[in-house]
Amino acid sequence: MKKLVLILIFAGILSILSAHPASKVEAKFDNKTKMLSVSYLHSVKNNSKHFITEIAIELNGKEIITQQLNFQDDKKQGDLSYKIIDAKENDKIKVTTRCNKGGKKGTELKVMPVKASKTPLIKK
């Protein structure tokens, strides 16, 4: 009985030690195209068994997108894109990733103004 308890405790500790959030989450928003690009680093041995399982996106504190994932792109990272047509200058976007083994990591950004076009005027 004691051996079984010790094995269960050891298995639980190993499970906790293998769980970790993404090591880095980056988000970029293009106000002109309204596209949000999300990249995360999450190194694992098997990306079909240990992966980022959820991406949650908030706009000004309100959750607007939740995507469930069944695996990540490869054993090191993942990349995703979202169109957020309601985002405007000075809005805050928060991105949170969640690992299927445990742990969360996120980032926040402020929507910047649309940059003026640098296309020169054509003179006739």
Give every CB contact of residue 91 below 8 A, 6+ residues apart in sequence.
Answer: 59, 60, 110, 111
Q: What is the pLDDT along the chain (124 residues), one digit of tens a residue?
A: 666 555 545 545 444 445 688 899 999 999 999 999 999 999 999 988 999 999 999 999 999 999 999 999 999 999 999 999 999 999 999 999 999 999 999 999 999 998 765 655 555 5
Helices (H) and strands (E) in the chain, counts: 1, 7
Query: What per-residue confidence (pLDDT) applies to 20?
Result: 82
Minimal CA–CA distance to 89: which of 30, 38, 28, 37?
30
Fold of 19-110: Immunoglobulin-like (2.60.40)
pTM of the shown model: 0.78
Query: What per-residue confidence (pLDDT) applies to 55?
Result: 97
Query: What per-residue confidence (pLDDT) applies to 66?
Result: 98
Q: What string of DSSP letters covers 20-75?
A: ---SEEEEEEETTTTEEEEEEE---S-TTTS-EEEEEEEETTEEEEEEE-SS-SSS
Domain coordinates in residue numbering, the chain: 19-110
